[in-house]
Structure 1
Amino acid sequence: MLASAELADSRILVVDDKEDNLAMLETILRDAGFVHIDLARNSDELFAQLGQGRPDLILLDIQLPKHDGFEICEQLQASLDHAEIPVIFITAMHKDAKSIVRAFASGGVDFLTRPFLPEELIARVQIQLRVERHWRQLEELTRIDPLTGLLNRRAMSEQVETERRRALRTSSTYALLLADIDHFKPVNDNNGHHCGDAVLSACARLLKERVRRSEQVCRWGGEEFLLLLPDTNAAGAAVLANALRSAVEDSTFTCDNDRTLRVTLSFGIMADSGECSVEECISKADAALYAAKHAGRNCCITHADAVGR
């Protein structure tokens, strides 16, 4: 039985303390067409492998030294980074109700007892890989703004919180840019919402194309965008904000009725070392944006400057 072409590149981690079992499982998977197979013999090797990258599926023996498969699965479930990895238990233990119940209670998604047919293993592996892939696709859809293709507010809030914790841990600084399209209501009123959507999408592309790979852009809401800049202070963030502001000001946007128009952006800027909560940081960026609007729009103002006004 061969793996489906769309699943053959999946990464599978096999955990078993017996070399012959590892060799057999690896052979079955490779013969089926899977090419990314990692091996571990105990919990230490398993977590070392996880540190090198997230597998799409774990095949986990129950009878392992030090920590058995149930305990390992419970540890995975307790981790934010690993809880969503599907685990299929493989064991030579007698398939009784107690062990089956514990397997699923500890977080496993399937239970396979030796001896088994290679075809059965591949079928069960493919089922879980398809479920995992579909789940990831659905999860990704919940994180993306459908109009602009940028991260949405929920996804960005999670990114900012992650960066806040990293900044606090590493004594670094990150910056937020809150940008708003100036006088956007007349764009919709005078040209229609289709034109407004086209302008929003074009602005989103422009911002996305001009930031570094490590930086994130999201549609924060309405005509607002939020940018997350790791390892950046307020002065550095202001340089980028002014470059983006100029790029938008110099651009011509085309609507679906071939009408062209120009818009500008106002930016509120703040930087923090992780001491403030995400809500406090957003509030500071918003206050700076309000100051930029009050100053005449099409400008960039930092929170420190806004407070000093």
Structure 2
Amino acid sequence: MSQLCNVLIVEADSKNVETTVPLLRKMNSKVSYVKQGLNVVTHLQKKGFDLVLLADKLPDEDGFRVLRRIREKAELKNIPVLMMLSEDESKKAAFESGASDYIVKPYMPYELVARVTPYISLVLDRQKFTDECQRKDKIAKQLDEAFTEMEIMSRLDPLTRVYNRRAFLEKITDEQIRSRRSQKKFTLLLANIIKCRHYNERHGYECGDFIIKKTAELIHGSLRERDLTARWSGDKFMILLPETESDGLEIIQTKINKVFQESSFEFKGMNHRIDLSFSSKVCTGNDDLDLVLKEIE
């Protein structure tokens, strides 16, 4: 990003403006100018200038009074103001009014360059520092987002976007802890796609993947908000039903069956239906998880 110092010239002498503006623009400055002092404070508040070149004599009032009004505003008190004086004797009045520096008119180009260079350099360096901080903050945010996404992806099955086996085992362990605390049982339900190999062998693995993805979508859509689904193995899905025993299991399993019976899917011009088989286990927080999983599988 190109940095520019935003400079306001307050000067009624058009010849002085004509010589000063090109010099400032060569020094990476964006220059605006006004001829009167009446609305300078409002102008500064609206535009956000970095440096002000203020003439001591203006058509409507003297520049020292304008400068004092600038310094009365808390948000403007730190803006560098270079007074352009008609006579050297006015420098005391300039500093007493709050000037950062001064230059006596008429001035040579090198004098102006010498006076404003420190202020412009400071502004540009500050802008570079701010831009660099923002760039680093953006990179840090992108890295955080990438790490978060990596963490999420490490817990999801890449095909179906439901939990993978490793992440789901953690969820079951968490549910066991809750079950011991609440003394409420939970259920594990294993759904197996019947003849999934048939789709792979007759229609190709692309069709098999399509069937697996649709199965995950339908199961997920059939469950309560608190229930969880994982792709347990190639054609099997494990479902965690918190605070659910046999009666609740029957209701949910019936709902899943109904959804699959009423659904068919078109893949490359052919309609397919998906049939599932189930096995389940109502669990307590004290059950041996390895034994439970072996029994279900």
Provide the residue aligned with 1:84 in structure 2.
Answer: none
- Number of residues of Structure 1 aligned to a counterpart in Structure 2: 169
> Which structure: greater helix fraction?
2
CA distance in structure 2 between the partners assigned to 1:138 and 1:185 by the alignment: 31
8 Å contact kept, 2:222–2:259:
no
- Alpha-carbon shift at residue 138 of structure 1 (Å): 0.5
Partner of 1:267: 278
Which of residues 279, 295, 303 in structure 1 aligns to 2:290?
279
**Unaligned regions of 5+ residues in structure 2, if any?**
1-128
SS of 2:282's partner is strand
- Tell me the SS of whatever aligns to 1:162: helix
Note the C-alpha offset of 1:127.
5.4
Residues of 2 paired with 1:120 and 1:171: CA distance? 56
- Say whether 1:166 aligns with 2:166: no
Which of 231, 240, 244 is the equivalent residue of 2:243?
231
The match for 1:154 among 137, 144, 166 is 166
Cα distance in 2 between the residues matched to 1:135 and 1:151: 18
The aligned residue for residue 53 of structure 1 is none
Task: Say if 2:114 is the partner of 1:135.
Answer: no
- The letter of the residue matching 1:264 is D
Counterpart Cα distance in 1 of 2:136 and 2:180: 43
The question of whether the paired residues in 2 share the 8 Å contact of 1:249 and 1:265 is answered with no
Please report how far the alpha carbon of residue 129 of structure 1 lies from its aligned counterpart in structure 2 after TM superposition.
4.0
8 A Cα contact 1:157 1:278, kept in partner: no
Q: Which residue of 2 aligns with 1:215?
A: 227
The answer on 1:182 being equivalent to 2:182 is no
CA distance in 1, matches of 2:136, 2:216: 42
**In 1, Cα distance between the equivalents of 2:133 and 2:181?**
43
CA-CA distance at 1:140 after TM superposition: 0.6
Structure 1 residues 25-104: aligned runs within 5 Å: none
Q: Give deviations 1:32-67, integer Å, cap 9, x for gaps.
A: xxxxxxxxxxxxxxxxxxxxxxxxxxxxxxxxxxxx
User: Structure 1 residues 119, 198: closer, same or farther in 2, change over 3 A?
Assistant: closer
**Residues 127 and 261 of structure 1: is their aligned pair in 2 closer, same or farther, counting only changes over 3 Å?**
closer
**Aligned mates of 2:176, 2:137 — CA distance in 1:** 38
Deviation string, structure 1 residues 121-155 (Cα, Å, up to 9, x no partner): 87776655443322111011111111111111111
Q: Is the 8 A contact 1:153 1:218 kept in 2?
A: yes
Aligned counterparts of 2:232 and 2:213: Cα–Cα separation in 1: 13
The match for 1:196 among 208, 230, 233 is 208
- CA shift digits 1:234-283 (9 cap, x unpaired): 2211221122123212321221x121122210111111121113322222
The TM-score with structure 1 as length reference comes to: 0.51
Alpha carbons 1:245, 1:266 under 8 Å: kept: no
* Aligned-pair Cα RMSD in Å: 2.1
Whole-Å separation in 2 of the counterparts to 1:279 and 1:271:
14
State the distance in 1 between where 2:135 and 2:289 align: 45
Give me the whole-angstrom Cα distance separating, in 2, the residues matched to 1:234 and 1:142.
Answer: 33
Matched residues in 1 for 2:290 and 2:157: separation? 21
Partners of 1:251 and 1:244 in 2: CA distance = 11
Contact 1:234 1:269 in 2 (8 A): no
Contact 1:238 1:269 in 2 (8 A): no
CA separation in 2, counterparts of 1:249 and 1:162?
A: 33
Residue 156 of structure 2 corresponds to: 144
What amino acid is aligned across from residue 226 of structure 2 in structure 1? S
Question: AA paired with 2:145?
Answer: R
Going from structure 1 to structure 2, the CA distance change for 1:197 and 1:182 (only over 3 Å counts) comes to same
In structure 2, give the amino acid aligned to 1:180: N
Amino acid at match of 1:280: L
Residue type at the aligned position of 2:191: A
Would you say the 8 A contact 2:215–2:274 is kept in 1? no
Distance (Å, rounded) in 2 between the aligned partners of 1:124 and 1:259:
52
* SS of residue matched to 1:280: helix
Matched residue type, 1:262? R
| Alignment match of 2:252 (pick from 225, 228, 240) | 240
Stretch deviating more after TM superposition (201-210 or 117-126): 117-126
CA distance in 2, matches of 1:127, 1:192: 42
